Every structure is written in structure tokens, then in C-alpha cells.
Chains A and B, each alone.
Chain A
Amino acid sequence: MRRHHDMGGEPAGPVVPEEHDYAPWEKRVDAIRQLLSARGVMTVDELRRGIEELGPGAYDELSYYQRWIASVGNVLLEKGVVSVDELGQRMAEVEARWRAEGRSAA
């Protein structure tokens, strides 16, 4: 059985080759991934595996770097680098800070 992400050759729309700027958060995700790799915490292979395990719904709905950070989060939870509670509390803190600054949280 073909796994969802393994979609080479499946029907799809045209590829639109356009340049785009990276949002600051996307650069930060890239930096986090590189640091985790440089410090031996997780490999790019684990990143890919985590992306593949997001499943059909999230895999299709999330953007490129959203898939990356979702995978990074899940792999760090698996390895015990962070706990669910730590991650949940920190995300709530960041969201509260953003709201206080008048920015919208994704």
C-alpha cells in the first residue's frame, strides 16, 4: 500500500514555480532544526519520518515549515526532550504575549 506522502506520479495540479520570501518564523524553524541536528538531538531522517507520520489530513493542510515544526515537536516529545505539559504551557504563554501585543496567533 502506498503511504500518503509517497505521492510521486499521482494526479496533481500544475507546479507554480514562483519565488517567495521566508517569514521570520519559517527561518526560525529552519534554525531550530539545524541546531537540533548539530547538537545530535535529532536527524533530518527523523524530521522526514515525523512529517510522514502526520497523516493525510495534517500533511495536506499544513504548509511546508508548519510540517517541519509539527515533526520537530513530536520527535522531541518522543525523545523526552520536552514534555507535553511544558510544550502546552509555553505555547499558551507565547499566544498570550502575541494577543497582548495585538498580533493574531496562528
Chain B
Amino acid sequence: MSERFARGALVRVRSIHPPGHVRTPHYLRGRAGLVEAVAGHYANPEELAYGRDGLPPRALYRVRFVQAELWPDYTGAVGDTLVADLYEHWLEPAS
């Protein structure tokens, strides 16, 4: 299995809003983060949710975001981060 992004890659979550079942939280759309790890390859839940097989498997990444960049009124520590599991087709390279 191959992956498009390596550990340490800067990625941006696609800012799209399809109507069906997705696993990408709304608050992360359009946000940039760092790939921390490849969490594995899994059947696509967006397809499984409608009774289909979800194949071929999709790479799932663990992506780390800076909390202060996600929430304009964030009052926690400056270094706070958030890690989310995101499928490859939801990510694009960020510069």
C-alpha cells in the first residue's frame, strides 16, 4: 500500500461540503496541519455507510493541528494541539 503524504508533510483539509456521510469534522475544513503518522489503510467509510464495499482501501492519516489556529477565541496554552484521523482523499498539499 502506498501513501501520497509522508510523515511531516504539511497538508490542508479540503474545503468541500458533500451531503453524505463523512468522517472529516466540519471545523477542520480548509485548515492546515502536519502529518504525524499513517494510521493504516481502511475501506472507505463514506461508501460503507451506504452498504457498499468501500474498496480499494484508503490511507488514513493522523494529522496534528494547532488549536489556536482552529478556534479564534481559544484561551488554552499556546502550544496546544489537536490530532485528527483523516482519509487521504480529504487532504491536499499545503505550502
- Interface set of A (CB-CB < 8 Å, partner B): 1-3, 6, 8-9, 42-43, 45-46, 48-49, 52, 79
Total interface residues in chain B, CB < 8 Å: 15
**Is chain B's binding surface mostly helix, strand, loop or mixed?**
loop
Q: A46 to chain B: which residues have CB within 8 Å?
A: 48-51
Q: Of the 9-residue stretches B5-13, B19-27, B33-41, B55-63, which lies at the interface with chain A?
A: B19-27
The answer to whether A9 and B51 have CB atoms under 8 Å apart is no
How many residue pairs link A and B with beta carbons under 8 A? The number is 36
Q: Is B17 an interface residue (CB 8 A)?
A: yes
Of listed B25, B49, B50, B71, residue having the most chain A CB within 10 A: B49
Q: B54 to chain A: which residues have CB within 8 Å?
A: 45
- Interface set of B (CB-CB < 8 Å, partner A): 17, 19-21, 25-27, 45, 48-51, 54, 70-71
Kindly state the separation between the CA atoms of A60 and B51 in the bound complex, as whole angstroms: 26
